[in-house]
Amino acid sequence: MLYDGFLLAGVMIVAAIPLPFFQSAADDSAWVRALIQIYLVLVCFLFFGWFWTHGGQTLGMRAWRLQLCRIDGQNLAWSAAVVRFLSALLSWLALGLGFFWVAIDPQNRAWHDRLSKCIVVVLPPRP
Protein backbone atom coordinates (compact mmCIF):
# COMPACT_ATOMS: atom_id res chain seq x y z
CA MET A 1 0.00 0.00 0.00
CA LEU A 2 2.91 2.33 0.67
CA TYR A 3 4.26 2.01 -2.88
CA ASP A 4 0.83 2.65 -4.37
CA GLY A 5 0.32 5.53 -1.95
CA PHE A 6 3.40 7.33 -3.27
CA LEU A 7 2.33 6.80 -6.85
CA LEU A 8 -1.23 7.88 -6.08
CA ALA A 9 0.09 11.03 -4.39
CA GLY A 10 1.81 11.98 -7.64
CA VAL A 11 -1.35 11.29 -9.62
CA MET A 12 -3.39 13.39 -7.19
CA ILE A 13 -0.95 16.30 -7.47
CA VAL A 14 -1.30 16.26 -11.25
CA ALA A 15 -5.08 15.88 -10.98
CA ALA A 16 -5.25 18.88 -8.64
CA ILE A 17 -3.38 21.23 -11.01
CA PRO A 18 -6.54 22.55 -12.73
CA LEU A 19 -8.54 22.96 -9.50
CA PRO A 20 -7.52 26.58 -8.71
CA PHE A 21 -8.93 27.62 -12.09
CA PHE A 22 -12.38 26.33 -11.12
CA GLN A 23 -12.56 27.74 -7.64
CA SER A 24 -11.92 31.32 -6.68
CA ALA A 25 -11.65 32.67 -3.16
CA ALA A 26 -14.99 34.43 -3.64
CA ASP A 27 -16.74 31.21 -4.72
CA ASP A 28 -16.02 29.03 -1.70
CA SER A 29 -19.41 27.38 -1.57
CA ALA A 30 -20.13 23.97 -0.11
CA TRP A 31 -21.23 22.49 -3.44
CA VAL A 32 -17.94 23.50 -5.11
CA ARG A 33 -15.98 21.84 -2.30
CA ALA A 34 -18.19 18.75 -2.60
CA LEU A 35 -17.62 18.55 -6.37
CA ILE A 36 -13.87 18.84 -5.85
CA GLN A 37 -13.92 16.04 -3.29
CA ILE A 38 -16.00 13.84 -5.60
CA TYR A 39 -13.57 14.56 -8.43
CA LEU A 40 -10.56 13.56 -6.31
CA VAL A 41 -12.25 10.36 -5.11
CA LEU A 42 -13.10 9.56 -8.74
CA VAL A 43 -9.44 10.04 -9.68
CA CYS A 44 -8.46 7.60 -6.92
CA PHE A 45 -11.03 5.09 -8.14
CA LEU A 46 -9.87 5.36 -11.75
CA PHE A 47 -6.26 4.87 -10.64
CA PHE A 48 -6.96 1.67 -8.71
CA GLY A 49 -9.79 0.47 -10.96
CA TRP A 50 -7.66 0.63 -14.08
CA PHE A 51 -4.90 -1.47 -12.51
CA TRP A 52 -7.36 -3.94 -11.00
CA THR A 53 -9.24 -4.47 -14.28
CA HIS A 54 -6.11 -4.56 -16.45
CA GLY A 55 -4.02 -7.42 -15.09
CA GLY A 56 -5.02 -7.27 -11.43
CA GLN A 57 -1.82 -5.62 -10.24
CA THR A 58 -1.00 -2.11 -9.13
CA LEU A 59 2.66 -1.21 -9.30
CA GLY A 60 2.99 -1.88 -5.58
CA MET A 61 1.35 -5.29 -5.97
CA ARG A 62 3.68 -6.07 -8.85
CA ALA A 63 6.71 -5.30 -6.66
CA TRP A 64 5.48 -7.77 -4.04
CA ARG A 65 4.32 -10.38 -6.61
CA LEU A 66 0.65 -10.03 -5.62
CA GLN A 67 -2.24 -10.28 -8.03
CA LEU A 68 -5.91 -9.55 -7.57
CA CYS A 69 -8.48 -11.72 -9.30
CA ARG A 70 -12.03 -12.93 -8.90
CA ILE A 71 -12.63 -16.11 -6.94
CA ASP A 72 -12.89 -18.02 -10.24
CA GLY A 73 -9.45 -16.73 -11.31
CA GLN A 74 -10.69 -14.26 -13.93
CA ASN A 75 -9.83 -10.56 -14.13
CA LEU A 76 -12.04 -8.08 -12.30
CA ALA A 77 -14.79 -6.27 -14.15
CA TRP A 78 -15.37 -2.58 -13.52
CA SER A 79 -18.45 -3.43 -11.46
CA ALA A 80 -16.34 -5.52 -9.07
CA ALA A 81 -13.75 -2.73 -8.98
CA VAL A 82 -16.46 -0.29 -7.86
CA VAL A 83 -17.56 -2.66 -5.08
CA ARG A 84 -13.95 -3.25 -4.02
CA PHE A 85 -13.11 0.46 -3.97
CA LEU A 86 -16.20 1.45 -1.99
CA SER A 87 -15.65 -1.47 0.40
CA ALA A 88 -12.04 -0.40 0.90
CA LEU A 89 -13.28 3.08 1.82
CA LEU A 90 -15.54 1.41 4.38
CA SER A 91 -12.53 -0.51 5.70
CA TRP A 92 -10.62 2.76 6.14
CA LEU A 93 -13.59 4.48 7.79
CA ALA A 94 -13.64 1.67 10.35
CA LEU A 95 -10.13 2.77 11.38
CA GLY A 96 -8.53 0.17 9.12
CA LEU A 97 -10.33 -2.76 10.71
CA GLY A 98 -11.33 -4.09 7.30
CA PHE A 99 -7.66 -4.35 6.34
CA PHE A 100 -6.56 -5.91 9.64
CA TRP A 101 -9.32 -8.49 9.17
CA VAL A 102 -6.83 -10.43 7.02
CA ALA A 103 -5.01 -11.47 10.20
CA ILE A 104 -8.04 -13.34 11.60
CA ASP A 105 -9.82 -14.39 8.43
CA PRO A 106 -9.38 -18.12 7.69
CA GLN A 107 -8.88 -17.35 3.97
CA ASN A 108 -6.73 -14.25 4.60
CA ARG A 109 -9.27 -11.96 2.93
CA ALA A 110 -10.05 -8.38 3.87
CA TRP A 111 -13.56 -6.95 3.95
CA HIS A 112 -13.22 -5.51 0.48
CA ASP A 113 -11.98 -8.87 -0.84
CA ARG A 114 -15.02 -10.63 0.56
CA LEU A 115 -17.54 -8.02 -0.56
CA SER A 116 -16.16 -7.87 -4.10
CA LYS A 117 -15.69 -11.67 -4.30
CA CYS A 118 -11.96 -11.32 -4.98
CA ILE A 119 -8.77 -12.91 -3.78
CA VAL A 120 -5.20 -11.70 -3.66
CA VAL A 121 -2.76 -14.40 -4.73
CA VAL A 122 1.00 -14.53 -4.31
CA LEU A 123 2.68 -15.19 -7.63
CA PRO A 124 5.70 -17.50 -7.87
CA PRO A 125 9.10 -15.83 -8.16
CA ARG A 126 10.36 -15.19 -11.65
CA PRO A 127 13.30 -17.33 -12.70
Maximum Cα–Cα distance across the chain = 60
Checking if the pLDDT of 26 tops 60, the result is no
User: Which residue pairs from 70-74 have beta carbons closer than 8 angstroms and sit at least 24 positions apart in sequence?
Assistant: 70/117, 70/118, 70/119, 71/117, 71/118, 71/119
CA-CA-CA-CA torsion sign (4, 6, 12, 17) = negative
Query: What is the percentage of the chain residues whose pLDDT exceeds 70?
Result: 94
Domain boundaries, the chain: 2-122
Model confidence at 36, in pLDDT bands (50, 70, 90)? confident
Instruction: Supply the pLDDT for residue 51.
Output: 97
Q: What is the pLDDT of residue 16?
A: 93
Q: What's the pLDDT score for residue 1?
A: 87
Select the more confidently predicted residue: 51 or 33.
Answer: 51
pLDDT (mean) for 37-41 = 94
| pLDDT(23) > 70 | no
State pLDDT tens for residues 73-114.
999 999 999 999 999 999 999 999 999 999 999 999 999 999
Q: How far is CA 75 from the centre of its chain?
A: 16
Going from the C-alpha of 98 to that of each of 24, 56, 103, the distances in angstroms are 38, 20, 10
pTM: 0.88
